Homo-oligomer: A and B are copies of this chain.
Amino acid sequence: MTLLTTTDPRSGETRDTTIAETDDAAVDGIVRAAASAFEIFRSSDRAWRAGLLDALADALEAQRDDLVAIADRETGLGVPRLTGEVGRSAFQLRLFAEAVREGGYLEAAIDHAGETPIGPGPDIRRILVPIGPVGVFGSSNFPFAFSVAGGDVASALAAGNPVVIKAHGSHPETSAATFAALDRAARAHGAPDGTLGIVYGLDAGRALVSAPELRAVGFTGSLSGGRALLRLIEQRDDPIPFYGELSSLNPLIVTPDAAAARADAIAEGLFGSFTLGSGQFCTKPGFAFVPLGPAGDALVAGLVDRAEAAPAGVLLNERIAESFGQIRARLVEAGRARIAGGGADAAEPGFRATPTVLELDVADVTAEVAEEAFGPLVVVARYSDTEDIARALAALPDSLTATIHSQPTEEPLTQRLTRVVLPRVGRVVYNGYPTGVRVAWAQHHGGPWPATNTLHTSVGVTAIRRFLRPVAFQDAPSHVLPEELRDDYRGIPRRVDGVLVLAG
């Protein structure tokens, strides 16, 4: 039995935990338990399942201070941020509970039997049903909101699926403590054995995605990690959906008028956004377009001054710190860039990086300077003609987000830039910053490859759809239909004979 270690990123000190790596036989047992739980859980009552999600949210909040203390030791993200993240995770569970109660996510539709222009048609009724046990890979950078208590787990459960979590190796004790809290609450609510499971270790993660009973995988992590898991899935007898959120540069554009009007405010906001959580956000603005000229110079100077004054920030783990240093060196080399701020302060212990601003000419933007550096680094490309932005964007990989800072005086330019960025991203932010993803009905957190490998979102209510599949019933007697598809049911919105009908 191999015990996992955990490392304090502030000191770099590593110690043993009491958590064992999960061996293949144990993974097999856990996934089988999930499959058994599914036989009960899949037909659980929606109100009961919403209550389960609320109970998980309550349990998380009840344990908040303990969980935050453990996570702070393992991630160095700090108590205020981690406290907020627990709150966000609880809010997310409750929002899915609300969606489950409302029932629109079921996409119930009824076409009664009848004559059609091409002959008589049978009665057809459609609804979404849960797909089966879901594997969720926790991320390093959100020990709560994208880990054991995160959106993938919440949405998979909301849909009616048991979940097996692969704990991130960077915060095993946080994962174990969070799992214990959720598992206890689920059992107290009456959830069947196997509704929640957790595995530890890289080999266990591989065994999980290869397990025959698994029906989908949610993953937030690196492009290389995602590619490796995709290859395992392709080797399955039955390829299953893999929802990966992988890599993102998140370009931010400052128009000439915006620079002229708000250079310092934008420098302040952009600096805060690219250094938030030591720059370890999938939505970190890693690439900015700033006009040449005095206003742009002032904006860049504002970034540089702040970078040079800032202390080194803690990075999550040694691998991220090493990778950040390497990619930073490659970007400096490739971009012939001017550089401000710098590497880690060697005097400090642990894993650290100081904020870095790289500056280059928009004409020098190539794929080589468009590598995502997971850490507090922004590449600033200076332009004189806004048409150059479109050309440069074509050299960048697609992203989760794009951000446009512009002025009301620039309507046509703002429209043109929107048109340019829209095919390349999943969210467009105006006069704000992409870090901070509101959990809401209308949210979309996704984007074209390599941002994700899916058309779906991993934040917001429609994330639930990833873990559902449609089924249609043809000429079914009422007694075999789910309640929501019976003629006399009125509790959810449905599309009846092509017409959307509200609940009531």
Contact = CB atoms under 8 A, between A and B. Distances in A.
A453 B87 contact: no
Contacts of A431: 475
Contacts of A457: 470
A498 B439 CA distance: 12
Contacts of A201: none
A231 to B, nearest CB: 8
A493 interface: yes
Contacts of A450: 238
A426 B472 contact: yes
B110 A426 contact: no
Given A415-B479, A422-B471, A479-B414, A442 B125 contact: yes
A80 interface: no
B495 A500 contact: no
Interface stretch (A111-119, A134-142, A301-309): A111-119
A126 B474 contact: no
Contact of A427 (B104, B107, B440, B474): B474
Contacts of A432: 122, 474-475
Contacts of A293: none
A88 B118 contact: yes
A479 B239 contact: no
A410 B169 CA distance: 53
A470 B449 contact: no
Contacts of A479: 411, 414-415
Interface in A438-488: 438-446, 448-450, 453, 455-457, 460, 462, 468-477, 479-480
Interface string A405-425: 000100100110011001101
Nearest to A414: B480
A98 interface: yes
A449 to B, nearest CB: 4
A438 to B, nearest CB: 4
A239 B233 CA distance: 14
Interface residues of A, number: 83
A255 B448 CA distance: 49
Given A441-B111, A441-B495, A239 B449 contact: yes
Contacts of A87: 117-118
Contacts of A444: 126, 470-472
Nearest to A216: B455
A479 to B, nearest CB: 5
A391 to B, nearest CB: 15
Contacts of A337: none
Nearest to A403: B474
A430 interface: yes
A167 interface: no
Interface in A90-127: 91, 94, 98, 102, 104, 107, 109-111, 116-118, 121-122, 124-126
Contacts of A440: 111, 116, 121, 124
A313 interface: no
Contacts of A438: 111, 116, 121-122, 124, 474
A471 B426 contact: yes
Nearest to A500: B493
A125 B472 CA distance: 31
Contact of A455 (B124, B470, B472): B470
A118 to B, nearest CB: 5
Interface of A: 42-43, 84, 87-88, 91, 94, 98, 102, 104, 107, 109-111, 116-118, 121-122, 124-126, 129, 131-132, 230, 234, 238-241, 408, 411, 414-415, 418-419, 422-423, 425-432, 438-446, 448-450, 453, 455-457, 460, 462, 468-477, 479-480, 493, 495, 497-498, 500, 502
A-B pairs with lowest CB-CB distance, top 8: A109-B442, A444-B472, A238-B449, A126-B442, A444-B470, A111-B440, A427-B472, A429-B474
13 contacts: A88-B118, A104-B495, A107-B462, A122-B438, A124-B440, A125-B442, A126-B441, A230-B239, A411-B477, A426-B469, A426-B470, A429-B474, A432-B475
Given A126-B443, A446-B470, 12 more contacts: A104-B495, A124-B438, A234-B234, A239-B453, A414-B477, A422-B471, A427-B472, A427-B474, A428-B480, A430-B475, A432-B474, A446-B469
